[in-house]
Amino acid sequence: MKSVANGESKEWLYLSGAAGSGKSHLLLATCTTAQKQGRRALYFPLSVFAGRLQEVLPDQENADIVCLDGLENCAGNEQDEVALFHFYNRARAANAVVVFAARPAPHGLSLLIPDLQSRLGQCTRLNLESLGDDGRREVLLHRALQRGLELDDAVLDYMFKRVGRDLLTLTTLLDKLDRESLAAQRKVTVPFLRKLLER
């Protein structure tokens, strides 16, 4: 992913893995790294844009990197699949790099357009295993560090015990913690986190 982000590789990637395996985190980190180097990188959570890809995808192939997260949200929607198919072809012609992510591998998507499935199958595939607690901690610490937010072990322990271990839930909470601590001009502590969760 790093070689794609910094422009060393023009390889198209397809990330698959269960919820909480870190797909979204990798896509966002790739975009952030590319943008810091002055490259145009775009992230599209397809759970948000499903049903509207014909409006959203045209002209996005002019970016250096396009990350499409959650392909399973568009599978079975013929208009979305047609938009993805045409986007795929335009992006290849424009020499953009595209990174796809979905829970299943390409052959596991319930796609209506066989040619789209075939094209997705041409990408280099990476299957991500679900992260263990150490991996989740590392992801949270990395994202916190990017925001200038300090999280100590006590705060992380409390998050894991009270919130659960689902990475999406944890990163969403981290975003909220960042906003709230900034607004309150306070360091993130266990009492601060407890008060936030009680609201």
**pLDDT tens figures, 152-163:** 899 999 888 888
CA 25 and chain centroid, separation: 5
Q: CA distances (Å), 29 to each of 104, 113, 179, in order?
A: 21, 30, 20
Does this model's pTM top 0.75? My answer is no
Give dist(CA 45, CA 150) in Å, integer. 27
- Phi-psi map region of 166: left, alpha, beta (phi>0 left; psi -120 to 50 alpha): beta
What pLDDT was estimated at residue 6? Answer: 79
* Closest C-alpha to 96, from 147, 42, 163: 42
* Out of 24-33, 79-88, 102-111, 125-134, least confident range: 125-134
Percent with pLDDT over 70 in the chain: 100
Q: What's phi and psi for 44, nearest 5 deg? A: -120, 110
Of residues 21 and 109, which shows the higher confidence score? 109
| 73 Cβ neighbours under 8 A, 6+ residues apart | 46, 47, 50
Give dist(CA 165, CA 148) in Å, integer. 23
**CB contact at 8 A, 133 and 160:** yes
What pLDDT was estimated at residue 171? Answer: 82
Task: Please name every residue paired with 98 in a beta bridge, in sequence order, or none if there are none.
Answer: 66
Three-state secondary structure call for residue 188: coil
Q: In this model, does residue 41 exceed pLDDT 90?
A: yes
What pLDDT was estimated at residue 136? Answer: 82
Mean pLDDT of the residues in the chain: 90
* Closest C-alpha to 44, from 84, 93, 11: 84
**pLDDT tens figures, 20-40:** 777 888 899 899 999 999 999
Mean pLDDT of 166-180: 84
